[in-house]
Chains A and B, each alone.
Chain A
C-alpha cells in the first residue's frame, strides 16, 4: 500500500513542477556523464561522452548503426558489463553518485533504472508472473499487493484492458506489440525513476509502434526516459531533447526541435536529411 501512495505523492509533486515552470528553479539532472570512454577489448566504442539527462524528459539518442548509441544506453544501467572485456574511464553520475566505481550496487542501480529491450523479451511465464517477477525478486510476497502492482503496471503500460481477462495465460501468446507493452509493464512494476529504452519499436509493426510511442509520451509525466532509436521521425515525434552520435562520439545534443530544424553541425544535417546512415 505504502508504495502506491508514495508514488501518488510523487506524481502530484511532479505535476506541480510542470505547471509552475519556474525559470529560477534548475531542472534536476538525473544522469551526468563526464568524459566517458568505453572499450570492447581493443575497440574504442565510446569517445569522450559528455551528456546531461534531465528529469521527466524524453531524451532520444539517434545515429547510424554502430555509432555507440546502444552501448551508451547499456552503460547507464551497466548492462554493458555482461559483454566480456569491457573497460571504461570517466564518470557517470546517477543522482550525484558515480555508477562506474562500484560505490553503488549494480542491483540497486537497476532497480531504480528500468530497461526495455529491442526485441520484446517476456519470460516464458504467464502475464501475471511476468509483471510480478521484479517485485518478487525484491521480496514482495503479499498476494493482494502483487495483484495491485499487476493492475497498476499493466494500466500504466496501456495494456490492462487487452489482457485483464487472461492474466494467467503465457505471455508468448500475445502479439509482438502486446508483448512489448507487457515488458514495459514489467519494468514499471519495479517502480523505477528512469526507463531506458533500446530501440523498443524496431521489431514492431506501425500500429504497435504508434501505441508504444503514445505510451512513452504518457510515461514521460512520471518517469525520465532515455530512448535509443534509429528512426529519426520517432525521435522528432516523442523526444524533448535529442543526441546525435557518430562513431562513438556525441556530435550534437540539443532540444529536439532545434536539432531537427536547425542543426549546428554539418554531420547532423547530413544525417537527418538522409545523406548517409
Chain B
C-alpha cells in the first residue's frame, strides 16, 4: 500500500508537470530561434534588394554600371545547368537507388557501398568542384561550359538523391509488393506498377531538396572558373555561363568597391529564393496530386 500512496502524492505530480512545461518551452525556443534568424535574414535582404528589382533588372544583360545591370544571363545560366542536372541526377540517382534497394543482394559489399554513398553526401562541395575541374573541364576538355558545370553539380547532389530515394523505396509497405509478387508479377512489373508509384511522392521531395542544393551551390562553380562578368547569354550546353549564386558571390565580394553592388546582390538573392520557392511549390503540387489519386 505504501507504493500506491507514493503514486498519488500530488506534489510529485506537480513536479512532473513542471518538468513537462519546461521542456516544452525549450523546444519552442529552439524552433523560434531558427525562425527569427531566418526572418531577420529575409527582411534584411528584402529591404536591401526589393527596390532594385524591376522587369529591367530581371531581363537585361550584365553591366558594370550598377543601375544598368541585369541578371537575365545568370537566370538563363542556372536554368541551363538545371537542364543537365535534373535528368542526370534523376535517372542515375533513382536507378542506383532501385538497384541497391531492390535488386542487389544484401551483404557486406552492399553495406560497404551504401556507407560510402552516405559519406559522399558529406564531402565538401569544393572537393566536387576539383573533381569536376579535373574530369570534365580538363580531361574531357569541355572547358567551363554549361555541361561541365551541370555534371559537376549533378555529381554533388547524386548521393543525397540516392540516399533519399532509397529511403523512399524502403518505406513502401512490404505487403503491397508481396501481393504483386504473389500474382506472378516479375520484379520489374512490381517496381514499375506498385513500388515506384507508392514511393514517388517521397522521391520527388528528395529530388527537390537535392536540386535546391544544386541551384544554390557556389563553391564548385568558382573552382570550375565560372566567370561572373559575362555579357552574352548562354544558348546551349556547350556555351560558357554564369549562375545566380556566382553573381551573388561576386557582387558581394565587390560591394566594397561599388556600394550599390550590395543591393544588386540582395536583389539577386530575392530572385534565387523566388525560383527555389516556385520549384518547391511545383513539387508539393505534384505530390498532393499523386496522393489524391492514390
Contact = CB atoms under 8 A, between A and B. Distances in A.
- Most B Cβ at <10 Å: residue of A124, A170, A183: A124
A79 B176 contact: no
Interface stretch (A7-15, A113-121, A211-219): A113-121
B181 interface: yes
A117 B178 contact: yes
Contact of A107 (B173, B179, B186, B198): B186
Given A84-B106, A133-B193, A79 B182 contact: yes
Interface residues of A, number: 27
Interface string B153-184: 00000000000000000000111101111111
A117 B185 contact: no
B182 A107 contact: no
Nearest to A129: B193
A114 B179 contact: no
Contacts of B105: 84
B194 interface: yes
Contacts of B175: 117, 119, 121
A185 to B, nearest CB: 12
Contact of B185 (A77, A79, A107): A107
Contacts of B181: 79, 82, 110
A186 interface: yes
Contacts of B183: 110-111, 114, 133-134, 137, 186-187, 190
Contact of A123 (B174, B179, B186): B179
A21 interface: no
A121 B178 contact: yes
B119 interface: no
B127 to A, nearest CB: 35
Interface residues of B, number: 20
Interface in A161-206: 170, 183, 186-187, 190
Given A124-B198, A133-B193, A117 B182 contact: yes
- Most A Cβ at <10 Å: residue of B174, B179, B189: B179
Nearest to A190: B183
A95 to B, nearest CB: 16
Contacts of A186: 179, 183
A108 interface: yes
Interface in A93-144: 107-111, 114-115, 117, 119, 121-125, 133-134, 137-138
B184 A79 contact: no
Q: Chain B contact residues: over half helix, strand or loop, or mixed?
A: helix
B294 interface: yes
Interface string A199-241: 0000000000000000000000000000000000000000000
Contacts of A115: 182
A49 to B, nearest CB: 21
Contacts of B193: 133, 137
Contacts of A117: 175, 178-179, 182
A204 B186 CA distance: 30
B294 A111 contact: no
Contacts of A183: 179
A183 B175 CA distance: 12
A110 B189 CA distance: 14
A82 B177 CA distance: 10
Interface of B: 105-106, 173-176, 178-186, 189, 193-194, 198, 294
Given A82-B181, A111-B183, 13 more contacts: A84-B106, A107-B186, A117-B179, A121-B175, A121-B178, A121-B179, A123-B179, A134-B184, A134-B185, A137-B183, A137-B189, A137-B193, A190-B184
Interface of A: 77, 79, 82, 84, 107-111, 114-115, 117, 119, 121-125, 133-134, 137-138, 170, 183, 186-187, 190
Q: Which 6 A-B pairs have the closest CB atoms?
A: A111-B184, A110-B184, A121-B175, A115-B182, A134-B183, A124-B294
